Structure 1
Amino acid sequence: MDTESPERSDSAAAAATARATADSGEFSLPRSRAANERLHALIPGGAHTYAKGDDQYPADLAPVISHGHGAHVWDLDGNRYIEYGSGLRSVSLGHAHPRVLEAVRRELDRGSNFVRPSVVEVEAAERFLATVPTAEMVKFAKNGSDATTAAVRLARAATGRPRVALCGDHPFFSVDDWFIGTTPMSAGVPAATADLTVTFPYGDLAATQELLTRYRDEIACLVLEPASHTEPPPGYLAGLRELADRHGCVLVFDEMITGFRWSEAGAQGLYGVVPDLSTFGKALGNGFAVSALAGRRELMERGGLRHPGDRVFLLSTTHGAETHALSAAQAVLTTYVEEGITARLHVLGERLAAGVREAAASAGVGDHLVLRGRASNLVFATLDENRQPSQQYRTLFLRHLLAGGVLAPSFVVSSALDEADIDRTVEVVARACAVYRKALDAADPTPWLGGRPVRPVFRRSA
């Protein structure tokens, strides 16, 4: 799929020149490197999301993006990439999707924010609840952290309990203290706040039962992604539902990732287990800022005006109901349902997974480059000669993907990819795997890194 823009007529030539130097280790991004310096001078971390930081990429090979269209993006150096994990999984239909842009443009001329609710708010709510029928009410916001923290506050208010139990196997729930206090980046979080959050392992009902018994009548909610890199064990989610009911706590599904990628009705629709509250975001706006807290009417009404109890300050955001973002969400939901987007994501992911696994096996690194997750949400692990997770081998792999025109911190697909994109990606992976094999044989990837290795987001020191 060629989507070269007129103002980037030289991009193909620039990209070809850059990639021709990949095997010699000369691939470079001078304009992006200069832009990264400007970013760090003005923005802490050089990005507005830690997962987009240049420390997540090989040294001096963190592209700064000029623009994107469909499944492709262009960097400031003129290189075009096939992109995966677009917008941290938020752009699942591809960049500048025409149906979404049409909905947004229609609202821009009508005003975006008023002193009273817009009719778009109720229309978006109706569309959302028709798509996710397991929920009875919904409230929109701008980011997933706010929605998930609102779920926690609501659970605490409803139960009168202080503690939050979250799944310790899932990487991220919120920027707020109740979660960040559990990470290595807990600076600034009072110990008293962090102590109110406890963790349970995914897939282990016995351990969760023990936790609920140990903190009897103290735990307000169980918070988890219903699925992640592994499918839930048979009966697990239903078992959690039963445990929550038995112990009087609120079951919260974080569907930021699973929402719409697992099914149009989310993971709760696919697995048939209904949480008390659930949170959605990412794919909901196809890059536009919109998230949602949804759930049972009895709970959600506590944040409203039509109940007899104490009021809960649930979600109140100046920009939470911007009309263009809610119109984008409506267009996304309609597109998913009418065009079978979830099924397409699975088909594309299955083709990619088969090709990558075959390429890795052919190069003799099938036990070292490991794909994990549902076909619509593929991630990869890079393992060293002892089959242990390795940031050095991840660096090597990412470096050769970038040089081959593949921007892939994960292999999470968008529906804008086509078979040619997948096949091209597999070709690049095959070349990267050949180098991976050389590094394994040498038992030292250092000569192929080009500098410092990539680093985990959650670490205590910079």
Structure 2
Amino acid sequence: MNPQDAEDTGEFLLPRSRMANERLHAIIPGGAHTYAKGDDQYPENLAPVISHGRGAHVWDIDGNRYIEYGSGLRSVSLGHAHPRVIEAVRRELDRGSNFVRPSIVELEAAERFLATVPTAEMVKFAKNGSDATTAAVRLARAATGRPRVAICADHPFFSVDDWFIGTTPMSAGVPATTNELTVAFPYGDLAATEELLTRYQDEVACLILEPASHTEPPPRYLAGLRELADRHGCVLIFDEMITGFRWSEAGAQGLYGVVPDLSTFGKALGNGFAVSALAGRRDLMELGGLRHSGDRVFLLSTTHGAETHSLAAAMAVLTTYVEEGITARLHTLGERLAAGVRDAAASMGVGDHIVVRGRASNLVFATLDENRQPSQQYRTLFLRRLLAGGVLAPSFVVSSALGDADIDHTVDVVAQACAVYRKALEAADPTPWLTGRPVKPVFRRLA
């Protein structure tokens, strides 16, 4: 069934998904295991609960099929149930997944990772990005003896741990004394960052940032940060959860040629399987090891951090990226999609209101109101029309499983959505097209 058939009659409903969402909220705080997947991020009663996925498509429990973007919050970059990844996982499942000593798979996965990201000298695997970024911060504090963490204020998420979450509107439960140890610097502004490091002279353990996001780094910006970190004796950490592999097979550090002291990877690394990585300079990483005479750092020690099937998935992903040129394909697909969406919006007279941003491999969109200000109401209208057309798109982040027909269909649906969007703009009121509360920001103080 295509949702468009129901929407054409004004009866696009998801009764089974709606009931499942109620059951989810009854037993799972927030109704999902990631806030960004919550039903508050979708139009009211139109948050599909997924049955299964294959390639670039997913099916909900109401029987609808969607073209999916932003798959698994950018983690499923090869598409769902990718044959090469699934085969690698299956080979390990019958051999056991967790042992009292390291598996040879841990060695092979580490060697494969370091061959793909040659700017790093050592690597340690974990299950999620938060653990990896927090481990990087702990290493930086241990190496420098300094308490403060400097985060990039323009990047939305680094960790679920207190050192970061205390800086967000969802800071309940985080002691004020913890918040005081985290300071912020603006992206792209070396002078402001140097002023911060001077103000907290000999107090800042690290600078942590995404090396790039929705905009490219200004010329020499990353190199300038490298110089600042060296001059002020702090650790430079690149959070490559998103940029890793999507920017280049060696991450953003490989693309821009600036080597951080530490970096963290996840998302695309496992194509949906749970695996993340902390990588970096040997002298720093060894502080969490056994071959030094100093104080030991409790780095990453996770029971499930080296499950063999997840590491096998990671090796398959790395091999596929390199051998099949996946990063280049993601950029090609993204460029085609961005051009199509921009043309569709412009042709419907809303090109200044539905705005596609970001690197081609990591596209997002902004929905602007009649005053060209970001609007959750207009985002709701847009998402509703996309869903009705069989497009599940909290972003326009592509996977390599997309085909030309998928993108063509997406652009057609966007054009139909833009026609409704224009009517709402002309009325200066999108409310009649919402049929429920607007979608909400992930980070907000009150539920």
Matched, 1:262 2:262: no
User: Could you tell me how far apart the structure 1 residues matched to 2:5 and 2:407 are?
Assistant: 20
Partner of 1:350: 335
User: Could you tell me how far apart the structure 2 residues matched to 1:100 and 1:246 are?
Assistant: 43
Partner of 2:262: 277
User: Could you tell me how far apart the structure 1 residues matched to 2:372 and 2:7 are?
Assistant: 26
**Counterpart residue identity of residue 403, structure 1:** A
Structure 1 residue 450 displacement after superposition: 1.3
Partner of 2:392: 407
Partner of 1:238: 223
Across the two proteins, how many residue pairs are aligned to each other?
A: 447
Return the match for 1:34 from 19, 30, 41: 19
Structure 1 residue 74 displacement after superposition: 0.1
Structure 1 residue 368 displacement after superposition: 0.4
Q: Encode CA deviations 1:218-267: one digit per residue, 9 max, x unaligned.
A: 00000000000000000000000000000000000000000000000000
Q: Encode CA deviations 1:144-182: one digit per residue, 9 max, x unaligned.
A: 000000000000000000000000100000000000000
Return the match for 1:200 from 170, 185, 195: 185
**Counterpart residue identity of residue 331, structure 2:** H
Structure 1 residue 24 displacement after superposition: 4.8
User: Could you tell me how far apart the structure 1 residues matched to 2:180 and 2:9 are?
Assistant: 51
Partner of 2:38: 53
Q: Tell me the percent identity.
A: 89
1:90-105 correspondence to structure 2 within 5 Å: 90-105=75-90
Structure 1 residue 23 displacement after superposition: 4.3
Return the match for 2:282 from 297, 320, 341: 297
Partner of 1:366: 351
Partner of 1:212: 197
Return the match for 1:189 from 174, 188, 201: 174
User: Could you tell me how far apart the structure 2 residues matched to 1:457 and 1:351 are?
Assistant: 29
Q: SS of 2:73's equivalent?
A: helix
Q: Structure 1 unaligned segments of length 5 or more: list them.
A: 1-13
Q: SS of 2:80's equivalent?
A: coil
Matched, 1:424 2:431: no
Partner of 1:6: none
User: Could you tell me how far apart the structure 2 residues matched to 1:26 and 1:172 are?
Assistant: 37
Tell me which stretches of 4 or more aligned residues in structure 1 moved more than 3 Å. Answer: none
User: Could you tell me how far apart the structure 2 residues matched to 1:49 and 1:329 are?
Assistant: 22
Q: Encode CA deviations 1:76-112: one digit per residue, 9 max, x unaligned.
A: 1100000000000000000000000000000001000
Matched, 1:312 2:320: no
Q: Structure 2 unaligned segments of length 5 or more: list them.
A: none
Partner of 2:103: 118
Q: SS of 2:107's equivalent?
A: helix
Return the match for 1:436 from 421, 431, 434: 421
Matched, 1:175 2:177: no
Partner of 2:378: 393
Partner of 2:136: 151
TM-score by length of 1: 0.96
Q: SS of 1:139's equivalent?
A: strand
Structure 1 residue 21 displacement after superposition: 3.2
Structure 1 residue 22 displacement after superposition: 1.8
Q: SS of 2:351's equivalent?
A: coil
**Counterpart residue identity of residue 205, structure 2:** A
Structure 1 residue 26 displacement after superposition: 2.1
User: Could you tell me how far apart the structure 2 residues matched to 1:391 and 1:368 are?
Assistant: 13
User: Could you tell me how far apart the structure 2 residues matched to 1:97 and 1:426 are?
Assistant: 25
Q: Encode CA deviations 1:279-325: one digit per residue, 9 max, x unaligned.
A: 00000000000000000001000000001111000100000000000
User: Could you tell me how far apart the structure 2 residues matched to 1:19 and 1:161 are?
Assistant: 57
RMSD over aligned Cα, in angstroms? 0.6
**Counterpart residue identity of residue 298, structure 1:** D
User: Could you tell me how far apart the structure 2 residues matched to 1:202 and 1:59 are?
Assistant: 35
Structure 1 residue 25 displacement after superposition: 3.5
Structure 1 residue 19 displacement after superposition: 1.6
TM-score by length of 2: 0.99
- CA contact 1:25–1:450 (8 Å) conserved in 2: no
